[in-house]
Amino acid sequence: MGVDETSFQKRHEKVTIVSDLERSKVLFVADDRKQESLDGFWTSLPRPQLNAIGAVAMDICAPYIQSTLLHVPAADEKIVFDVFHIAQMLNKALDQVRRMESRRLGARGDHTLRGTRYDWLRHPGTVTTEETREFTELRARVHRMARAWEIKETAMAIFDLKSASASTKEFGAWLQWAIRSKREPMKHVARTLRKHWDQIENYFRHRITNALAEAINGQIQLVKRRSRGFRNRDRFREAIYFHCGGLDLYPAGICGFRTIVNTRIGPS
């Protein structure tokens, strides 16, 4: 399953969403982004269901982590920190380095980095040959920024490895490189990843991300826009369950008839 958050009205007003990543539906909605928000879901499950949980994808969020460790058996082996959240952390740190370097170079009259923000954040596999050539020339002119970009790309390449043991070995080498760098934003991310590596490593065993949860989040925000927003949290919660909860809205008699038809002639 996946644990994520979405906004209610303003961006700082959060709602916790628990999703079934296999069946693509919302299981639970709670106010705020606190430990007790997620506690309400875990405590609603009987012990056999808690034992049956295979993996839980989530962002590196202390309240969610503490709640899951408290209630889910063997949670240390089941929590999977979302790869896309880690990519966001690295991209944010990289952009901080770009701004710092832009100010440093700008003080000397060098504006090479001005207007290049998205050049550094793009995935290498999405650019054209000409764009690759231009970006290579850019990296050659700004060595400090280029090194920060290499640190970020090397970190993300670890998640392409096939085994947990190989990833741990490569992460150890990357960690030393990032910590020794003189780029404080990258060092800060490296320390965060080192602290939570056990749960990050679980990705190589379970191979799940919160991508589907993010897609459900997008559906929720679409429901909110079509409804011109919600003033009442209870109505917002009900709308989420209605549109994203995988509800079967057929009357019981029709459901039975549909089952018979599908059994005899197959699904349409």
Structural domains of the chain ordered from first start: 2-82+209-256 (3.30.420), 84-197 (no CATH)
Q: Tens of pLDDT along 105-133? A: 999 999 999 999 999 999 888 889 999 99
Residue 122: its pLDDT value, please?
A: 92
Residue 252: its pLDDT value, please?
A: 62
Residue 108: its pLDDT value, please?
A: 94
Residue 248: its pLDDT value, please?
A: 67
Residue 258: its pLDDT value, please?
A: 52
Residue 249: its pLDDT value, please?
A: 63
Tell me which residues of the chain have a pLDDT lower than 70: 9-12, 228-229, 248-268
Residue 115: its pLDDT value, please?
A: 94
Residue 238: its pLDDT value, please?
A: 85
- pTM listed for this prediction: 0.83
Residue 190: its pLDDT value, please?
A: 97
| Neighbour tally for 149: CB within 10 Å | 23
Residue 265: its pLDDT value, please?
A: 47
Residue 196: its pLDDT value, please?
A: 96
Are 36 and 254 in contact by the 8 Å Cβ rule? The answer is no
